[in-house]
């Protein structure tokens, strides 16, 4: 089954053709990072305008790359939420139009289900498993008892982990998106600054806003006192706390649920500290740990095509009444 998938929930316009939920036949990703860098973050209105300008070209390019026409496509998949409403709308309308004109089934995909199923493009997923979803908009622990069955165990109560990386990067003036830069800086820094461990409790929930504020206050204090802050050491101190809290709660969820499979998903799954520490802890606890290739960690349409195959198997389809949803539960 060949699924043509579209993803436009944030600042990437992407189209992919995915075979049987696991083979990425063709993918085109047009990132708007360069445009939003000037503003230190994604500007929703600008993002939707660029999606609108580029979506047709991205779809055509994806078909051309695969040497396909719409006749080769069996279904259309689309991220319908959560995300930026204007950005989502562009993708949803494009997908609905294609499904209508070419008379193909339309498969709605939750963005987080997409991030989770990015793993299936690298290695066939087995169940039960725990998925740790860490991105610019999400920090969630999801239990999957079986194929395309999601039970959210916990989530962030405020900022998402990627968002806090981006904000910390902005405060210390190292650009956008901050995650990859802070990650690189942390590799050469040492743990010098004491930062609070957020929401250090027994729940599966996370909180990053207090940690982010602690970094901001520290930077301002040093600035006011005229003391030079070591940015690499601050990056390392920040990343260590993030890694510690994420690892602790993830391992707890695996043990409590008696599950020995972990998959890591989302843009922040690219983080070397999180990857290395979780891998080590999983080895110590005889837990199988996997994460997607780096190119499938950040937003892309192939992950949506992969998830859509399993959604379709469960009978999940939509009609032309499908609407974009800025916030919607994964269930
Ligand atoms: O999944 P994604 O592409 O978009 C959302 O769905 O949010 O994730 C983007 C986020 C950004 O916040 C970016 O700073 C973060 O992922 N990110 C990282 C790394 N690479 C990307 N955060 C920490 N370490 C990284 N290596
Ligand atoms: Zn995402």
Model pLDDT, residue 112: 95
Length of the chain: 331
Tell me, yes or no, whether 153 and 231 share the same domain.
yes
Nearest protein CA to atom 8 of ligand 1, as residue: 267
Model pLDDT, residue 38: 77
**CA 243 to ligand 1 center in whole angstroms:** 14
Q: For residue 320, tell me if it sits in a domain.
A: no
Query: What secondary structure, in 3-state letters, does the chain show?
Result: CEEEEEECCCCEEEEEEEECCCEEEEEEEEECHHHHHCCCCCCHHHHHHHHHHHHHHHHHHHHHHHCCCHHHCCEEEEEEECCCHHHHHHHHHHHHHHHHHHCCCEEEEEHHHHHHHHHHHCCCCCCCEEEEEECCCCEEEEEECCCCCCEEEEEECCCCHHHHHHHHHHHCCCCCCHHHHHHHHHHHCCCCCCCCCCCCCCCCCECCHHHHHHHHHHHHHHHHHCCCCCHHHHHHHHHHHHHHHHHHHHHHHHHHCCCCEEEEECHHHHCHHHHHHHHHHHHHCCCEEECCCHHHHCCCHHHHHHHHHHHHHCCCCECCCCCCCCCCCCC
Q: For residue 323, tell me if it sits in a domain.
A: no
Q: Is 298 in the pocket of ligand 1 (CB under 6 A)?
A: yes
Contact 107, 297 (CB under 8 A): no
Tell me, yes or no, whether 55 and 155 share the same domain.
no
Tell me, yes or no, whether 6 and 34 share the same domain.
yes
Q: Is 292 in the pocket of ligand 1 (CB under 6 A)?
A: no
Tell me, yes or no, whether 179 and 33 share the same domain.
no
- Rounded Cα–Cα distance for residues 274 and 295 (Å): 17
103 or 198: which leads in pLDDT: 103
pLDDT band at 40 (very low <50, low <70, confident <90, very high): confident
CATH of the domain at 83: 3.30.420.40
Lowest mean pLDDT among 66-70, 124-128, 291-295: 291-295
**CA 188 to ligand 2 center in whole angstroms:** 28
Position 37 pLDDT exceeds 90? no
Tell me, yes or no, whether 134 and 282 share the same domain.
yes
Lowest mean pLDDT among 28-32, 118-122, 138-142, 231-235: 28-32
Position 46 pLDDT exceeds 90? no
Model pLDDT, residue 305: 98
- Rounded Cα–Cα distance for residues 84 and 93 (Å): 14
Tell me, yes or no, whether 133 and 14 share the same domain.
no
Position 42 pLDDT exceeds 90? no
Average pLDDT, the chain: 95
Position 287 pLDDT exceeds 80? yes
Q: Is 166 in the pocket of ligand 1 (CB under 6 A)?
A: yes
Contact 72, 65 (CB under 8 A): no
Tell me, yes or no, whether 89 and 104 share the same domain.
yes
Model pLDDT, residue 172: 87
Position 325 pLDDT exceeds 90? yes
Q: For residue 25, tell me if it sits in a domain.
A: yes
Mean pLDDT of 71-82: 98
Contact 139, 156 (CB under 8 A): yes
Domain that holds residue 68: 2-117+296-313
Q: Which atom number of ligand 1 is nearest to the Cα of residue 137?
A: 7
**pLDDT tens across 230-285, in order?**
999 999 999 999 999 999 999 999 999 999 999 999 999 999 999 999 999 999 99
Q: For residue 254, tell me if it sits in a domain.
A: yes
Tokens of residue 117, six digits: 């199923």
Tell me, yes or no, whether 24 and 113 share the same domain.
yes
Q: For residue 318, tell me if it sits in a domain.
A: no
Three-point CA angle 140, 146, 147, nearest 5° = 90
**pLDDT tens across 102-121, in order?**
999 999 999 999 999 999 99
Tell me, yes or no, whether 198 and 307 share the same domain.
no
Q: For residue 330, tell me if it sits in a domain.
A: no
CA distances to 31, 87, 248 from 55, in Å: 12, 11, 41
Q: For residue 57, tell me if it sits in a domain.
A: yes
Specify burial of residue 76 (Cβ count, 10 A radius: 0-12, 13-18, 19+): buried
Tell me, yes or no, whether 228 and 136 share the same domain.
yes
Position 331 pLDDT exceeds 80? no
Q: For residue 132, tell me if it sits in a domain.
A: yes
Position 152 pLDDT exceeds 90? yes
Q: Is 304 in the pocket of ligand 1 (CB under 6 A)?
A: no
Give the total number of structural domains in the chain.
Answer: 2
- Rounded Cα–Cα distance for residues 116 and 330 (Å): 11
Nearest protein CA to atom 22 of ligand 1, as residue: 179
Give percent of the chain with pLDDT exceeding 90.
88
Is pTM, for the whole model, over 0.85? yes
**pLDDT tens across 179-192, in order?**
999 999 999 999 99
Mean pLDDT of 27-39: 84
Tell me, yes or no, whether 265 and 174 share the same domain.
yes
Model pLDDT, residue 309: 98
Q: Is 178 in the pocket of ligand 1 (CB under 6 A)?
A: yes
pLDDT band at 176 (very low <50, low <70, confident <90, very high): confident
């Amino acid at each position: 089954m060949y699924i043509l998938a579209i993803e436009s929930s944030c600042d990437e316009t992407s189209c992919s053709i995915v075979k049987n939920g696991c083979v990425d036949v063709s993918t085109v990703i047009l990132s708007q990072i360069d445009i939003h860098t000037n503003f230190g973050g994604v500007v929703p209105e600008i993002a939707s305008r660029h999606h609108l300008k580029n979506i047709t070209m991205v779809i055509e390019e994806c078909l051309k790359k695969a040497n396909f026409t719409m006749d080769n496509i069996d279904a259309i998949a689309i991220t319908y939420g959560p995300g930026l409403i204007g950005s989502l709308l562009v993708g949803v309308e494009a997908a609905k139009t294609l499904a209508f004109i070419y008379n193909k089934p339309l498969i709605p995909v939750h963005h987080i289900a997409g991030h989770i199923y990015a793993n299936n493009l690298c290695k066939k997923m087995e169940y039960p498993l725990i998925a740790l979803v860490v991105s610019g908009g999400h920090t969630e622990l999801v239990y999957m008892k079986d194929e395309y069955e999601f039970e959210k165990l916990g989530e962030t109560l405020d900022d998402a982990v990627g968002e806090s990386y981006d904000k910390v990067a902005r405060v210390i003036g190292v650009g956008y998106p901050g995650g990859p830069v802070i990650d690189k800086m942390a590799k050469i820094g040492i743990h010098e600054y004491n930062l609070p461990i957020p929401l250090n409790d027994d729940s599966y929930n996370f909180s990053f806003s207090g940690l982010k504020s602690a970094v901001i206050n520290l930077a301002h204090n040093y600035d006011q006192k005229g003391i030079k802050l070591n940015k690499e050491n601050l990056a390392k101190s920040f990343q260590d706390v993030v890694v510690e809290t994420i690892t602790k709660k993830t391992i707890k969820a695996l043990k409590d649920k008696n599950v020995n499979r972990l998959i890591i998903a989302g843009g922040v799954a690219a983080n070397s500290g999180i990857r290395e520490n979780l891998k080590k802890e999983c080895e110590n606890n005889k837990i199988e740990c996997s994460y997607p290739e780096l190119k499938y960690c950040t937003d892309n349409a192939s992950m949506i095509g992969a998830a859509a195959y399993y959604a379709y198997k469960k009978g999940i389809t939509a009609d032309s009444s499908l609407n974009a949803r800025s916030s919607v539960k994964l269930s």
